[in-house]
Structure 1
Amino acid sequence: MTSRAYLDAATAEPLHPAAREVLLAALDSGWADPARLHHEGRTARLLLDNARAVLAESIGVRPDEVFLTTSGTAAIHSGLLAVTAARRRVGDRVVHSAVEHSAVLHGATAAGTANEVAVDALGRVDVEAFAAQLQQPGVAVAALQSANHEVATRQPIAEVAELCQAHQVPLFVDAAASIAHDAVPAGWSVLTASAHKWGGPAGVGVLAVRKGTRLAPTWPVDEREDGLSPGHPNVPAALAAAAALQARLTEADELNKQHRAWIDELRHRVAADIPDVEVVGDPEDRLPHVLTFSCLYVDGEALVTALDAEGFSVSSGSACTASTLRPSHVLAAMGVLTHGNVRISLGRTSTHEEVDRFATVLPRIVQRIRAEVGL
């Protein structure tokens, strides 16, 4: 039986060994309520504070600027809603790129009036159009991802951050795709990430808020996380998330070098070996571990299913709504081919043998699917 190759690390990484070790230990010592004053509560509080400090150091912020949520999506929603509500006197407009993660799109609509800014064919936001939107009255917050979660293209965060500062508009950055794979961008006011993207456990989101950024939660709040994430925190999971990120950062240089070379190889082989295929995203200014391509005359669901039967786990459709098999809003905004698309993303356990085998098997599968529909 062919061994399986997990090539969907941009969705979720397997639990990092460092996270597993810490998680198992913390289940026995960090189970109590950290808000309590008894011995068990104080122990849990110490562990939670340690997790927050490690996460803060990894991101480059102060521990009191880091808030823990139940997911990256929860971090996005609570962050966008709270910063928009705090600026109601200015307005309720949320300026964002057309290729943001669906959590940002939903959050922007819920927070106020969403104003979308177009991107180019590589998936990079139009900076002049973004600047023009910032000049309009009533802008509460601007949202721009650090890099695209589907096509890997980096966004011009530094340039947009300068524009936001000039117009006194807080910049909200969804960094879930890039944390542990790329340098954390500077100039933001609010930043979010998700632990399962870097080998931490699912159910841990990070919401970082720079001092001086006003927040006004619009939901019932309690004493936890300044009201930004109510309820009893999962201390063992937070510790495991921090351990995974710390360990992943020590591996980043070597993994990024490997992944960039392997993705470059895949880009070349896919384009050379398969007719009527479009490889998308910036070929250079991108995250090192992600590749997306679209095959004309091929159904994305059929392609994912056929690849799964061959032992390859990949994504298709919009990365945030893959279960619905809707066309990717990211690819549509870029004006590129939206059907028959596949996203490959490499993780710490990926090997060159898997990449080579994928590139060898893919042309045959695409040819077979096309033949089945008479092409």
Structure 2
Amino acid sequence: MAPQTDSTPPGPRGTALAEGVRGLLDASPGPVLPAALETWRAAHDLAWADPTSRHAAGRRSRALLDRARAIIAGGLGVRPDEVTLHASGDQAARTALAGLARGRRRRIGPPVASSVEHSGLLRWLRARDEGAVEVAATPTGALDLPGWRAAITGETPFAVLQAANQEVGTRQPLTEARSVTAAHGVPLLVDARASVGRDPVPRDFDVLVADAASWGGPRLGVLVVRTGTRFSPHDPPSPHEGGFTLDPVAVPTALAAAEAWQQVTADAGEESRGARELIDRIRSAAGAVGAVDVVGDPWDRLPHVCTFSVLYVDGETIVDELARHGLAVASGSACTSDTLEPSHVLAAMGALTQGNVRITLPLAAVSPDRADDVERLCAVLPEVVRSARGRLGVTDL
């Protein structure tokens, strides 16, 4: 992300607080935390210069960037020199894949990933000449560990596994998965863009990708490469972020992300408990409606994500009907929501892909009325489903 020099908060999410977030149950991403927005605005008076410049303003920007990096690294439990910052989580993920592919090119086998990874990662892996081995998922969306053990070999260049699924919330068995990769000397890339800031930080990884948008910050990709991991930066070399990114970091954005991290971790326990209770309420209400499939692990999951599928009705119809009640939810795949394509995650789980509805709760700090919104959803959902099915002539379910 090139440095921004105007007074407009980063991206359309910057205006969300002013407009209000009542009814927002599709916070992927959600609004930026107020303190992070204030930090972003104030930082433009101090950190407007390119942090690679040698003049005084550039050195000041560099010092502030290093401070932001240290805060984020401390929160992730890693060293600051293992962290690079990128324009978005997607860019950090692509950099991770490309850097591992270059650094591990002597391993001639295909990479290994789960079949429920983010679609952007799967597309990148499938575009390689040798493709990738995609390990099946269980009906709850968790990695099939026997399949993972069979797929990882001494010729595997690297492996990819999400910390938790962005769509159904199911956590992945990272400890067991990494024990397999470590035994073969294979680095494990963990995609934690859906979980960092809303769930405990993963510890079992060699490379980690996160996005500040998941913890109430602006869009900022975070890439962690543990010391000793074979990883090659861009070629030709870049002067930015140790050669890992082609563009300079927007220092105000990094400072806002660091402020958001400090804010969200201060309330992490209460936030997680509150979100889990609300998602439990949604899962119970949806499950009580006839022919509705609530998917994902009911216990070992992210606290703020829920997905259910409504038989006989397409997801867009349910989304539109709930919007008329002032409730914003999502449908389709969490990583291809712009096309409303059927979810590859649900298909890999063997679950119903029709009538998919996805809830991603915003942080309580930006949506103090979210409990009321959840109650409204639970109250209107049975009638919304009944009405949508009735228009198709489907009754008595």
Normalised by the length of structure 1, the TM-score is 0.96
Alignment match, 1:57: 74
Alignment match, 1:260: 276
Considering only aligned residues, what root-mean-square deviation do their CA atoms show, in Å?
1.4
Name whichever of 111-120 and 97-106 sits farther off: 111-120
Q: State the one-letter code of the partner of 1:338.
A: T
Aligned counterparts, 1:321-332, within 5 A: 321-332=336-347
Change (3 A) 1:121 1:14: same
Name whichever of 108-117 and 56-65 sits farther off: 108-117
Deviations 1:241-279 (A, max 9, x none): 11111211111100111111111111111111x111000
Is the 2:22–2:370 contact (alpha carbons within 8 Å) kept by the matching residues of 1? no
Match of 1:38 among 55, 60, 74: 55
Once the two structures are TM-superposed, the CA of residue 369 in structure 1 deviates from its matched residue by: 0.9
CA distance in 2, matches of 1:95, 1:270: 35
CA distance in 2, matches of 1:244, 1:102: 27
Match of 2:137 among 99, 119, 132: 119
Structure 1 gap segments, 5+ residues each: none
Deviations 1:2-40 (A, max 9, x none): 98311112x102110121111011011111011111111
The reply to whether residue 335 of structure 1 matches residue 356 of structure 2 is: no
Alignment match, 2:253: 237
4+ residue stretches of structure 1 with deviation over 6 A? none
Is the 1:92–1:113 contact (alpha carbons within 8 Å) kept by the matching residues of 2? no
Deviations 1:19-66 (A, max 9, x none): 111101101111101111111101100111011001100111000000
Match of 2:300 among 267, 285, 299: 285
Alignment match, 2:13: none
CA distance in 1, matches of 2:114, 2:257: 29
Q: 1:139 is paired with a residue of what secondary structure?
A: coil
Alignment match, 1:364: 383
Change (3 A) 1:68 1:110: farther
Q: What percentage of residue pairs aligned between the two structures are identical?
A: 48
The reply to whether residue 177 of structure 1 matches residue 177 of structure 2 is: no
Aligned counterparts, 1:1-375, within 5 A: 4-9=22-27, 11-110=28-127, 113-135=131-153, 137-202=154-219, 204-217=220-233, 219-272=235-288, 274-348=289-363, 349=367, 351-375=370-394
Is the 1:142–1:171 contact (alpha carbons within 8 Å) kept by the matching residues of 2? yes
Q: State the one-letter code of the partner of 2:96.
A: G
Q: 1:172 is paired with a residue of what secondary structure?
A: strand
Q: 1:177 is paired with a residue of what secondary structure?
A: coil
Q: 2:172 is paired with a residue of what secondary structure?
A: coil
CA distance in 2, matches of 1:77, 1:219: 15
Q: 1:29 is paired with a residue of what secondary structure?
A: coil
CA distance in 2, matches of 1:72, 1:220: 22
CA distance in 1, matches of 2:354, 2:232: 41
CA distance in 2, matches of 1:293, 1:41: 50
Is the 2:84–2:244 contact (alpha carbons within 8 Å) kept by the matching residues of 1? yes
Name whichever of 213-222 and 354-363 sits farther off: 213-222
Once the two structures are TM-superposed, the CA of residue 219 in structure 1 deviates from its matched residue by: 4.4
Normalised by the length of structure 2, the TM-score is 0.91
Is the 2:24–2:370 contact (alpha carbons within 8 Å) kept by the matching residues of 1? no
Q: Aligned residue pairs: how many? A: 370
CA distance in 2, matches of 1:161, 1:201: 30
Is the 1:278–1:337 contact (alpha carbons within 8 Å) kept by the matching residues of 2? yes
Is the 1:291–1:345 contact (alpha carbons within 8 Å) kept by the matching residues of 2? yes
CA distance in 2, matches of 1:290, 1:24: 31
CA distance in 1, matches of 2:157, 2:63: 36
Deviations 1:78-99 (A, max 9, x none): 1111112111111251100000
Q: 1:173 is paired with a residue of what secondary structure?
A: strand
CA distance in 1, matches of 2:325, 2:107: 55
CA distance in 1, matches of 2:26, 2:297: 19
CA distance in 2, matches of 1:3, 1:87: 45
Once the two structures are TM-superposed, the CA of residue 216 in structure 1 deviates from its matched residue by: 1.7
Q: State the one-letter code of the partner of 1:85.
A: R
Alignment match, 2:5: none
